[in-house]
Amino acid sequence: MRRWKHAWWWLLDYLHAGWVQTCSVFRRRPPKDYAAGDLTRPAIVLLPGVYETWLFLEPAAGRLNKAGHRIFTVPELGFNQLSVPDSAARVQRRLAELRQTHGVEHCVLLAHSKGGLIGKYTMLEALLPVEPSAAEPEILGMVTLNTPFAGSVYAKYLFPRALRQFSPADAVLLSLQAQEEANERIISIFPDFDPHIPGGSALAGATNIRLEAAGHFRIVADPLVLGVIEDAVGSLGD
C-alpha cells in the first residue's frame, strides 16, 4: 500500500512540475508589482532549482509580496543548469545590481532544491571582504525547501551533468557541507517524503523543519508550507 501511495505522489509531483515548466515558457518575467513593497522589510530574492525558473516559487512569492515584501528574481540563472559556483557568481552580480537600482539594503533568499545550494554558496562568499563599490545587500538569511545539502543517492544514475552535481561525492557539495559558518542563518524546510531526496534536507546547525507533507515540486504550493515559509521569513527579518 505504501509503495502505491509513493508512486501516486511521484505522479502528482511530475504533473505539477510539467505544468509549471510549460507555463515558464510563456511567463518569463515576474509581475511588475513584485518590485513594490514595504522598504522597511527585507527584500526576497528567489533562487529556483535545476531546470526551474522563478515560477516554481510563485505561490510563496505572491504570498510574501502581499505581506509587504519586495520580490526579485535572478534572470541570469536562466533554467538553472550551470554549476553551483557559476550560479552563485550570477546571484552576487544580481544582488549588487539590486542595491544600485532598487536600493535593496537587506534581503532574504528564498530557494527551492538546488537553489538552496546556490544560496548557501552565495552566503559564504558574502562573508569575504570586498571593495565598498562592489558591496551587495546584507543577506539576513535563507529559507529553503527540499534542498539536497547532502546530495541525493539517485544522482549517480543520472546522465545530465546538471543533475550529477547532486551526487553525495561531489566536491562542491562536500565543500559546502564542511563550511558551517552560514548554517545558523538557514531555515531548511522539507517533507516526510521527497521522491528526489530520500535522505532528507536536514542541515547541521540550521533550523530544520520537517513537515507532514510529500513531494519535491508540489510542496511549494502547499498551503501549510506557505504559512511556514512566511513565518520563517519573518523570523529572519526580525
pLDDT in tens, 118-167: 999 999 998 776 554 457 889 999 999 999 999 887 777 665 666 667 88
Domain containing 135: what range? 1-237
Instruction: Name which residue leads in pLDDT, 45 or 53.
Output: 45
Name 9's Cβ contacts closer than 8 Å, sequence gap at least 6: 193, 195, 214, 215
Ordered alpha helix ranges (H), 130-170: 161-164
Terminal CA-to-CA distance of the chain, rounded, Å?
44
* C-alpha cell at position 148: 539536497
Q: Which residue has the cell 514595504?
A: 38
What φ, ψ does residue 55 adopt, rounded to 5°?
A: -60, -25
pLDDT at 183 over 80: yes
CATH number of the domain that residue 100 is part of = 3.40.50.1820
pTM as predicted: 0.91
CB 109 within 8 A of CB 103: no
Cα distances (angstroms) measured from residue 216 to each of 14, 161, 197: 9, 20, 8
> Which residues partner with 191 through β-bridges?
211
User: What does the DSSP 8-state code read for residue 196?
Assistant: S
Cβ pair 57, 77 in contact under 8 A: no
Asked if residues 208 and 195 have their Cβ atoms less than 8 Å apart, the reply is: no
State the pLDDT at residue 193: 87
Sign of CA dihedral 135, 136, 142, 144: negative
> How many domains does the structure of the chain reveal?
1
